[in-house]
A and B are shown apart, each in its own frame.
Chain A
Amino acid sequence: MASITLDKVVKLYGKVTGVDQISLKVADGEFVSFLGPSGCGKTSTMRMIAGLEDISRGSIFIDDKRVNDLPPAGRNVAMAFENYGLYPQMSLFRNIAYPLYVRKVSPTEVGREVVRIARLLHIEDLLDKKPSDVSGGVRQRVSLARALVRKPTVFLLDEPLSHLDADLRSSMRGELKRLHDLNGATTIYVTHDQLEAMTMSDQIAVMNLGKLQQVGTPSEIFNRPANRFVASFIGEPAMNLLRGRVASTPEGVLITLQNTPFVTLNRETGQAVLETARQEDGVIEVGVRPPDFTVASPEKSGLQAKVRFREFLGETVLLTLDTGAERVRVVAPRDTQARETDLVSLVPRLDRLHFFSIESGMAVAHSD
């Protein structure tokens, strides 16, 4: 097993910058997710680590050894491909066995390892089939099995669960996490699904438009998002982002939404917000996650809003509300009385507010 270091890695496609100056360290045995929307550069970055793409600028190190010029075979990485990359002319068994076969592992051991991994992924009864005879879900598991059958320096998994149905995805998430817990292999996991990244990772590297947005533990990414993009990409439903006016009062720093007082921050949190707002016409962006509002009767002080939709989600309801200028989503307990067209007051949890600069989108303060 190994550590991976990316030092100012750049990938250019002609004049387009696919990956822009990414620096990152993946410690030995860590499970790190590259998370972002499609086209954010996460797959390109992984392919550069695998050696399938040239590195335009910067360096990649595996265990302190610069691998820029090594071919994939020389890096000893294992990879599962989003579009499977299976060998169409070979049975599933031979597909999974192939990496061992080219390494001249003894047939007995190959057989044992292939069957072991196939059982783990519940495909042991299908090994004599060809890729074209099985479903997308099975193909994806074969691709995963082919990566897992080896003992590489690092596992690279490119959206390995994306083609599975919801049930299987949910159980495979757990199995992969357990597998990592048991064998402690350094793993890089590319996904656009924030839930996968949140549930499985030691560290998440959030990417957008080729740039690294934030690296941190799931808890850091969720509770202290570095910027507006991370804040709204992580968490479902997405964080509400509201424009507030900032004023200094004797009690602290007052944030006003829609001309009504919203919260008063203590001096510590308030100071940074105040300073940013001063340079940006006295305005700040306030981030509140949907579960962090309490729905109260309209005479209570808070953000006044009218319920537009009420959607039943089982344990909770999702309310979509209009505040006049903005639309707000709130996740509330299912016994919440508010019905469609009702007027309510939304009271935020004061310890879970996030503030972003309107202009740069960078986080200015978190009220935890």
Chain B
Amino acid sequence: MSSVKLEALTKKYGDNLAISNLNLECQQGEFIVLLGRPGAGKSTTLKLIANIEELSSGNIYFNDQLINNIPTENRNVAMAFESYALYPHWTVRKNLEFPLKAPGRNIPAAEQEARIRRVAELLEIAHLLDRKPSQLSGGQRQRVSLGRALVRPASVTLLDEPIAHLDARLRHSLRGELKQYQREQNATTFYTTPDYVEATAIADKIAVLIDGQVRQFATPEVVYDEPADIEVATIVGDPKMNILPLAPGATRLEINEAWLQLPPLPPEAGYIGIRPVNIQIFENAHPYAIRGTVYVTEPMGYEQVIRVEAGEQLLNIKTLLTTGTFSIGQTVWLQPDWTTIHVFDRSGQRLKGGFH
């Protein structure tokens, strides 16, 4: 239950820079999600915090104390590995018990039992306590691994894609329960995932990792509404935010011999971003709309995603199924809602302020 400060962390594998100058600071008891694509450096960051990997440079503080030179076993971190790393010759119960029995913990037997019960029920593995890992499915093993990280009080809990291999029902229900449990324990948690929905759903704060750097560190709402740059904008949201390049000094957007007047934009504007739900689609010619051709349609229950080829662009539009039935190759008209656009400069950085 510590506050954590990561200061200019760098990790090199040979010439390969996995983490470069990563900074992050969180309060005690916060639930931090590291969101990023595979290879962005999420797991490496956790391993650096646990000291499973050695820092190339930088400083790590728990409760404002520098811990760079403290070995893993003395950092009091709990970790769940994506690869489970269970002890194969022990039962589930023994696997869960192990972190509680480590020297110096002195947890009374009754409390040990209570903690194991609680975690096993939380993760719906109470009926599996006497089995060995080899008798469990992949999803069950992942929950045992998660349980082993949650069962004891730790300064920091590190969870590496802890629910990635579970089915959809469990993923949804566990997400909330997990956060609730960590809040009760007042545990500081670092949680990695490539799935933005998981991140926005569970996080107090999201750190968006790209190429080993934190591009944005903010609440889910802020990351979604005010993404720091184009890459962050396209990681958060499905389908992806549409990004349209602007000619220097452009006052209008020209696509397929039609044009739309743009709202007044600052001169340094290089791109505008617009989310798929903020473009209206029409089957018939429509004023103040650009023309496009349906590339593919994807119905999903009550909603549908339509990809439309408009000039050089492939635009994603998300709308209700009742909006209409579209087929591949059909001509459609699109009307963006300018009040919802995001504006980025030529280097992809967000430009602050409203532009409508």
Task: Say if the two chains contact directly (CB < 8 Å).
Answer: yes
Which A residues are closer than 8 A to B by beta carbons? 37, 165-167, 170, 173-175, 177-178, 181-182, 195, 198-200, 218-219, 222, 232, 234-238, 289, 291, 308-309, 311-315, 318, 320, 327, 329
Instruction: Name B224's contact: one of A167, A234, A235, A312 (CB within 8 Å).
Output: A312
Question: Does B43 sit within 8 A of A, measured CB to CB?
Answer: no
**B194, A166: Cβ atoms closer than 8 Å:** yes
**B176, A165: Cβ atoms closer than 8 Å:** no
A232-B169 Cα distance, complex, nearest whole Å? 9
Question: Does B279 sit within 8 A of A, measured CB to CB?
Answer: no
**B299, A165: Cβ atoms closer than 8 Å:** no
Q: Which single residue of chain B is at the shortest CB-CB distance from A290?
A: B172
Q: How far is the CB of A176 from chain B (nearest CB, A)?
A: 9
Instruction: Name A37's contact: one of B167, B173, B221, B224 (CB within 8 Å).
Output: B167
A344-B325 Cα distance, complex, nearest whole Å? 36
Question: Does B253 sit within 8 A of A, measured CB to CB?
Answer: no
**B298, A219: Cβ atoms closer than 8 Å:** no
| Residues of chain B lying within 8 A (CB to CB) of residue A170 | 238-239
Show 8 residue pairs from A and B whose CB-CB distance is below 8 angstroms, ordered by the A residue: A165-B38, A166-B195, A174-B307, A195-B300, A236-B168, A291-B302, A308-B176, A312-B201
**A320, B176: Cβ atoms closer than 8 Å:** yes
| Residues of chain A lying within 8 A (CB to CB) of residue B175 | 309, 311
| Residues of chain A lying within 8 A (CB to CB) of residue B221 | 312
Most buried by A among B173, B176, B237, B239: B176
Please list the 9 inter-chain residue pairs (A to B) with the smallest Cβ-Cβ separation, ordered nearest first: A311-B201, A309-B176, A199-B298, A174-B296, A312-B220, A181-B328, A312-B200, A222-B301, A178-B296
| Residues of chain A lying within 8 A (CB to CB) of residue B37 | 165, 167
Question: Does B179 sit within 8 A of A, measured CB to CB?
Answer: yes
Q: How far is the CB of A212 from chain B (nearest CB, A)?
A: 21
A327-B302 Cα distance, complex, nearest whole Å? 23
**A198, B179: Cβ atoms closer than 8 Å:** no
Instruction: Name A165's contact: one of B167, B194, B300, B302 (CB within 8 Å).
Output: B194
| Residues of chain B lying within 8 A (CB to CB) of residue A199 | 298-300, 305
> Which of B36-70 touch A at CB < 8 Å?
37-38
Q: Which single residue of chain A is at the shortest CB-CB distance from B307?
A: A174
A289-B221 Cα distance, complex, nearest whole Å? 25
Known: A174-B298, A178-B328, A236-B168. 8 other contacts (CB 8 A): A166-B238, A177-B328, A178-B296, A181-B296, A199-B298, A218-B299, A291-B302, A312-B224
**B201, A173: Cβ atoms closer than 8 Å:** no
A237-B236 Cα distance, complex, nearest whole Å? 19
A327-B307 Cα distance, complex, nearest whole Å? 36
Q: How far is the CB of A345 from chain B (nearest CB, A)?
A: 21
Q: How far is the CB of B138 from chain A (nearest CB, A)?
A: 10
A289-B237 Cα distance, complex, nearest whole Å? 22
Instruction: Name A311's contact: one of B195, B196, B202 (CB within 8 Å).
Output: B202
**A313, B298: Cβ atoms closer than 8 Å:** no
Q: How far is the CB of A220 from chain B (nearest CB, A)?
A: 12
Q: How far is the CB of B273 from chain A (nearest CB, A)?
A: 14
| Residues of chain B lying within 8 A (CB to CB) of residue A289 | 301-302
Q: Which single residue of chain A is at the shortest CB-CB distance from B176?
A: A309
| Residues of chain B lying within 8 A (CB to CB) of residue A308 | 176, 180
| Residues of chain B lying within 8 A (CB to CB) of residue A219 | 299, 321
| Residues of chain A lying within 8 A (CB to CB) of residue B194 | 165-166
Instruction: Name B300's contact: one of A177, A178, A198, A314 (CB within 8 Å).
Output: A198
A309-B238 Cα distance, complex, nearest whole Å? 22
Instruction: Name A238's contact: one of B168, B179, B296, B328 (CB within 8 Å).
Output: B168
Question: Does B197 sit within 8 A of A, measured CB to CB?
Answer: yes
Q: Mark B300-344, 1 if CB is under 8 A from A, else 0.
A: 111001010000000000000100000010000000000000000
Question: Does B26 sit within 8 A of A, measured CB to CB?
Answer: no
| Residues of chain A lying within 8 A (CB to CB) of residue B173 | 320, 327
Q: How far is the CB of B328 from chain A (nearest CB, A)?
A: 5
A309-B182 Cα distance, complex, nearest whole Å? 14
**A329, B172: Cβ atoms closer than 8 Å:** yes
Instruction: Name B299's contact: one of A198, A238, A318 (CB within 8 Å).
Output: A198
